[in-house]
Chain A
Amino acid sequence: MSKFDASRRRVLKTGAIAGAGVALPTIFTASSAAAFTNEPTGGTVTLGFNVPQTGPYADEGADELRAYELAVEHLNGGGDGGMMNTFSSKALQGNGILGKKVEYVTGDTQTKSDAARASAKSMIEKDGAVMITGGSSSGVAIAVQGLCQEAGVIFMAGLTHSNDTTGKDKKANGFRHFFNGYMSGAALAPVLKNLYGTDRTAYHLTADYTWGWTQEESIAAATEALGWQTVNKVRTPLAATDFSSYIAPVLNSGADVLVLNHYGGNMVNSLTNAVQFGLRDKVVNGKNFEIVVPLYSRLMAKGAGENVKGIHGSTNWHWTLQDEGSKAFVKSFGTKYGFPPSQAAHTCYVQTLLYADAVERAGSFNPCAVAEALEGFEFDGMGNGPTLYRAEDHQCFKDVLVVRGKENPTSEFDLLEVVEVTPRAQVEYAPDHPMFAGGNLGACNPGA
């Protein structure tokens, strides 16, 4: 299987007069004959999977890559077809995309905007990728989304939870399936109200960068609407590894709920530290002290081990869901790799299928046609119930899961249990909601 016959070059080759060489003037990387950047003209189409392979999110990136490989296999008609069988749209035939065999290139984002853009650029300029997808942090997603807008290819975001991705930094060529900070708040609030009542005092520890801030804002707004008070919002440095000096003051602050707006390694450490300091055994204001982790990741929760038990948070998807789509996906992923997929793997797999389906329905790889097919697209059977890709901001609206660290896990994967599936209606918001205001999709850019 060769992945180097990027079809763009084939065009050039056939158009070229052998020997001395004839120069074709082109703008960016599209040939003058093509209608848009990297138009696939041969028998194959190349997708770019840009995931963190080094750095703290490398394991999450590896899981994303597994999902992509699975998706490519299914698109090309291999394996058991996975979610293609449960997907409400039946445009995909299992013969690639528009009859072209799907090939892919991989790259390393290093979870740094610069490196992620360099990697994405090489996929576009060198390998002729027509779509870029992946990533495990919002900074990277926003940076790569901006690049894809300029270059004229579609960006299907991987794991990115910041409101900004489809808020003030939204782009016409970028699409997000993953949920966001606002949705976490809206989904968690009713559950927290039932569990802990309306008379609570919350203390926020927040990772000091944009994602942390948008989540803190979302959760504080949602809980304050319940009648909770927010006693303090403390920003912690991203590079912090020991959170004890931030946890210690919580003990005497009068707060009875601690909200940890941390992700990844930060979350593991801050949660571990909070439990070490005995916060969970404390009684404040006559109530049991509680900890909330608004964005859960099962892969990361494993690093915190016992400490996650009984702690609530939200997640985009979990492998124990019993709908047909989730079961089909878990089955094909589990059969191939021997363990269940993570939420990052799920969102990446779904994004790839959604892209392929949109191309099939549009009948073209042109980013503008694909974007039009995705905008306002209603679908089902992908694990989150009936879902809408909203045209105004390219955000997916679907059910959100509220989960809890499981008390008696039966296996090393069985760390979380789904407490409630918050229906889509409850997490919807207006496109011009203040937390998402300030951005502009702009016009779709086909490159060329």
Chain B
Amino acid sequence: MDAILLQILNGLDKGSAYALIALGLTLIFGTLGVVNFAHGALFMIGAFCAVTLQRILNLSFELVDETQTDFLGNPLKVKTPYVEAWFGPDIGGSIIDWAVPLAILFAIPIMIGVGYVMERGLIKHFYKRPHADQILVTFGLAIVLQEVVKYFYGANPIQTPAPDALNGVVNLGAAIGMDIVYPVWRVVYFFFAVLIIGGIFSFLQFTTFGMVVRAGMADRETVGLLGINIDRRFTIMFGIAAAVAGLAGVMYTPINSPNYHMGMDFLVLSFVVVVVGGMGSLPGAVLAGFLLGVLESFASMNEVKSLLPGIDQIIIYVVAIIILLTRPRGLMGRKGVMEE
């Protein structure tokens, strides 16, 4: 029982990353009708925002310490971060320690800016082009973005730890008399994802801006005829979608050390999630994200694996095939979207 609860929890936690990425992807697709293969790259850029902030905070000056030597036998250069020098080791140290949460503030403007530039500079010209062209150009962009990141940060994963205070484990089952130990940061990630998803939904549901965007998603032409500048709003939505992907990336860095190809690793998976959820459906994307996360966790249980060897390798795809064959447009897809 404990084991099953633990896997459900784990699935929700994995699923929250899937859901966040799929949500952004669907926002872009639903509003602009563009299949964005560079969405994984946005997730990756978000993660490297955290890495960059960590690097900035760790910018150091060097003092030569004659008493110690480095590996070549020369006097060792001792590095002290400026932040620690300015604010003292205690406050400075804790600022560095909290680099990842601070990176959220750092990443939002950057990601919105990246999204805006991407939309205005490139994607805008592809609205009227076939989906295949959109896929190709965004895929090319994804390659370029990841290679640029690789050029500056190398190919190896870079450790970006969570703050010490959030690094331990917590027993979530204590209240109900069970033993469900879980890392604090992963719990934080889950609630963060729920918060963002809730925020996006209420933004679309309860604000005039959101209402217009929803109307535009349903019937772009009519909204345009009403004299509303829908394109501008869609550009802003692109920025927001980029920010969602970026924040998902920032918060993901302590879970797994980011590397330049993490976006590509998530790309195929996030497309499967979006399609299983149904193209263009926001609730579908979120639902499918959590569903696939939980099923993936169950499939990796030893009991299941001993029954069906290798099932954890293919579970995502098996589920996708079953759902697409029983529900033609995914869980909550609309008729006629991307069916040509």
Contacts and interface: CB of A to CB of B under 8 A. Distances in A.
Judge A-B direct contact (beta carbons within 8 Å).
yes
Interface of A: 55-60, 208, 232, 234-237, 239, 241-242, 244-246, 248-249, 251-252, 265, 268-269, 272-273, 276-278, 281, 299-300, 302-307, 319-320, 330-331, 334-335, 340, 410-411, 413-414
A319 B72 CA distance: 11
A14 B134 CA distance: 54
Contacts of A232: 302
A413 B183 contact: no
Given A265-B259, A330-B71, A234 B302 contact: yes
Residue among B10, B168, B179 with the highest chain A CB neighbour number at 10 A: B10
A56 B255 contact: no
A276 B183 contact: yes
A249 B312 CA distance: 15
B302 A276 contact: no
Given A300-B157, A330-B71, 11 more contacts: A58-B150, A234-B305, A246-B300, A249-B3, A252-B179, A269-B157, A277-B182, A302-B159, A303-B257, A306-B159, A306-B161
6 contacts: A208-B313, A236-B300, A245-B11, A249-B6, A249-B301, A278-B181
A205 to B, nearest CB: 11
Contacts, number: 121
Contact of A245 (B10, B72, B310): B10
A273 to B, nearest CB: 8
Contacts of A248: 3, 6-7, 10
Given A232-B302, A303-B157, A410-B76, A245 B296 contact: yes
Interface string B143-160: 000000010001111110
Given A234-B302, A252-B2, A305-B161, A244 B72 contact: no
A248 B265 CA distance: 22
Nearest to A232: B302
A242 B255 contact: yes
Contacts of B84: none
A103 B72 CA distance: 29
Interface of B: 2-3, 6-7, 10-11, 13-14, 68, 70-72, 76, 150, 154-159, 161, 167-169, 179, 181-183, 185-186, 255-257, 259, 261-262, 265, 296-297, 300-302, 305, 310, 312-313
Contacts of A60: 156
A160 B262 CA distance: 25
Contact of B157 (A245, A249, A265, A331): A265
B301 to A, nearest CB: 7
B71 A319 contact: yes
Contact of A249 (B155, B161, B296, B302): B302
B200 to A, nearest CB: 23
B11 to A, nearest CB: 7
B71 A411 contact: yes
Contact of A340 (B3, B71, B259): B71
Contacts of A273: 255-256
Given A268-B257, A278-B181, A239 B265 contact: yes
B315 to A, nearest CB: 10
A245 B257 contact: no
A413 B13 contact: no
The 9 A-B residue pairs with the shortest CB-CB distance in the complex, in nearest-first order: A305-B159, A303-B157, A58-B155, A278-B169, A276-B183, A245-B297, A245-B300, A59-B155, A59-B156
Residue among B6, B10, B167, B257 with the highest chain A CB neighbour number at 10 A: B257
A395 to B, nearest CB: 28
Nearest to B14: A242
Nearest to B315: A237
Contacts of A304: 157, 159, 257
A244 B181 contact: no
A278 B183 contact: yes
Contact of B257 (A234, A269, A340): A269
Residue among A232, A242, A305 with the highest chain B CB neighbour number at 10 A: A242
Given A245-B296, A252-B3, A303-B259, A56 B183 contact: no
Contact of A56 (B6, B261, B312, B313): B261
Contacts of B158: 303
A303 to B, nearest CB: 3
Nearest to A303: B157
B55 to A, nearest CB: 13
Contacts of A235: 305
Nearest to A238: B313
Nearest to A269: B256
A227 to B, nearest CB: 24
Nearest to B167: A276
